[in-house]
Amino acid sequence: MPAPRANLAPEPAPSSAQGRSLRRRGQRTQHRLLDAGLSVLAEHGYHAARVDDVVRVAKVSHGTFYLYFANKEDLFRSLAVRCAEDMAGLAASLEFVDPGPEGRETLRSWLADFFAVHRGYSVIIRSWIENQVGDRELARLGSRAFGKITKALVSRIDEARPGHRHDAELRAAALLAMIERFAYVVVSRGLELDEAALDTIATVVHRGFFAADPPVADPPPAVSRLRFGRP
């Protein structure tokens, strides 16, 4: 059985020129497979993605795939690592969000980055959120990535509206839900997110999630008038 070397630490560089050229070729192949994997996953989703599709797009043989990845899930994991790194950078890059106009600009800029990451990795992110792959380690990778972003959001919201820690957590979750889903919809429909749209989103987010509470009147009890969801 050819031992899959996927995701292993790089082997020591061989001395011969021939060996080095092979190595380079191998890297190119692996790269082709990763890119092919991303595009196939994007098109079909994890379950409907076939190894067959990946190798066809990458223009390599079936056997070659298993030279670089232990299995389908392993390819997915490799992509997920790439994605998690970018997500961590994203989390680290969110600075203080001022309740005033500058805060809106800070948000605007950060949101632009967020959407850019999504554009590349929407499938991965989708799969994380929906837990489609039955792999503990992979799920943890995703949780951690999202956890970092959530934490950053909680901090910034808490800074902007001090004294409502628990509420801040809920808001952070809702905010992440919104922008993540919104990004997905934009990507999946092939839409272009222009400057004006980014402005609007930034405004909504800024005012909805970061603004201080106004004085509220007495709220009457909420009563649902509809009954849904048959047993």
Partner DNA sequence: GATGAATGAGATTTCATTCAT
Partner DNA sequence: TATGAATGAAATCTCATTCAT
The interface partner of residue 66, options being DNA, its own copies, none and the CB cut-off 5 to 8 Å by kind, is DNA
Using CB under 7 A, which residues numbered 33 to 62 contact DNA?
Answer: 49-52, 60-62
Q: Which residues lie below 8 Å from residue 30, measured CB to CB, with a gap of 6+?
A: 68
Based on CB atoms, which residue is closest to its own copies, 53 or 159? 53
Give me the amino acid identity at 228: F
Q: Between residues 82 and 155, which has the closer beta carbon with respect to its own copies?
A: 82
Check binding of 2 to its own copies (CB under 8 A): yes
Q: What angle do CA 80, 45, 30 make, to 5 degrees?
A: 45
Q: State the nearest-atom distance from the C-beta of 78 to DNA, in Å.
A: 13
Residues within window 86-125 making contact with its own copies, judged by CB under 8 A: 86, 89-90, 93, 100-101, 104-105, 108-109, 112-113, 116-117, 119-121
Q: Are 7 and 73 in contact (CB under 8 A)?
A: no
Q: How far apart are CA 119 and CA 208, in angstroms?
A: 24
Q: What whole-number distance in Å separates Cα of residue 152 and Cα of residue 159?
A: 11
| Contact pattern from residue 142 through residue 181 relative to its own copies, giving x for each residue in contact according to CB under 8 A and a dash for the rest | -------------------------x--xx-xxx-xx-xx
Q: How far apart are CA 127 and CA 180, in angstroms?
A: 12
Asked if 9 touches DNA (CB under 7 A), the answer is no
- For residue 159, the minimal CB distance to DNA (Å) is 46
Angle CA 120–134–78, to nearest 5: 40
